[in-house]
Amino acid sequence: MKIVVGHLYPDYLNIYADRGNIAVLTRRAAWRGHEVEVRSVSVGEPLHAGEHDLLYVGGGQDREQALVAQDLAAKAEGVLEAAADGAALLAVCGGYQLLGRSYRDFHGDELPGIGLFPFDTVAGATRMIGDVLLECELEPGDRRTLAGFENHAGRTRLDPDAQPLGRVVAGFGNDGESGWEGCRVGRAVGTYLHGPLLPRNPWFADWLLAQALAHRLGEAPQLDPLADDLELQAHAVSARRAETRGGRR
């Protein structure tokens, strides 16, 4: 089966090894006999609901975010309709911030968000940097850990009824205070974790693939397991670094 991925602004939001995440999705799909077609969607290019099974938005600094914010706002209807139609979505760091309601940068300039995720973000005076470990339960009764790296000044504060991606075991997370990281709305997930995220968290890469396939099949399939020895070793190393760092528990 062909999985169509819409990669938003790969020429602007690409500073956190975002192409590594795309490469992991492509390879893990191919190992199971599926084809991934990646379509770039950049400034001035339309995005229509129904065209993609998964949307990906990477990370960028304030300058790059400012360059794409107005264009993304113009694409808001297409992104929101795609998510409502059941497409999967992963937004990382700067892309995550722009998919909330708003982002106020270090200079006090407010960039529009598209409101997919129920939060607002305000840049703080200091950056939150280091390895981070989360505890997640994306499927009932299936508790897993996500390991990654965070480097952000933004303090993202979720609405009281918002669903976070996970609980912070070690690191800062959304705001360094709440104990939550990321946000989830249906098959759409946003997070500050990068480095890139998917090579060291194969279970999460497979969850995303299953959600993208569910857009075509109506429900998420059970994917055949892969030999993930190296990926699990990478996860373990990242998790140990985060735990050694300490932080919220």
**What's the token pair of residue 76?**
């808001």
Convert the chain into a string of H (helix), E (strand) and C (coil). CEEEEEEECCCCCCCCCHHHHHHHHHHHHHCCCCEEEEEEECCCCCCCCCCCCEEEECCCCHHHHHHHHHHHHHCHHHHHHHHHCCCEEEEECHHHHHCCCEEECCCCCEEECCCCCCEEEEEEEEEEEEEEEEEEEEECCEEEEEEEEEEEEEEEEECCCCECCEEEEEECCCCCCCCEECEEECCEEEECCECCCHHHCHHHHHHHHHHHHHHHHCCCCCCCCCCCHHHHHHHHHHHHHHHHHCECC
Give me the residue label for tokens 């975010």.
Answer: 65
Look up 93 and say whether it is catalytic: yes
Catalytic one among 52, 194, 215, 235? 194
CA distance 100 to 23: 26
Look up 194 and say whether it is catalytic: yes
Name every residue whose Cβ is closer than 8 Å to that of residue 223 and which is 6 or more positions away in sequence.
32, 206, 209, 210
Catalytic one among 7, 52, 93, 136? 93
Among all residues, which ones are annotated catalytic?
A: 93, 194
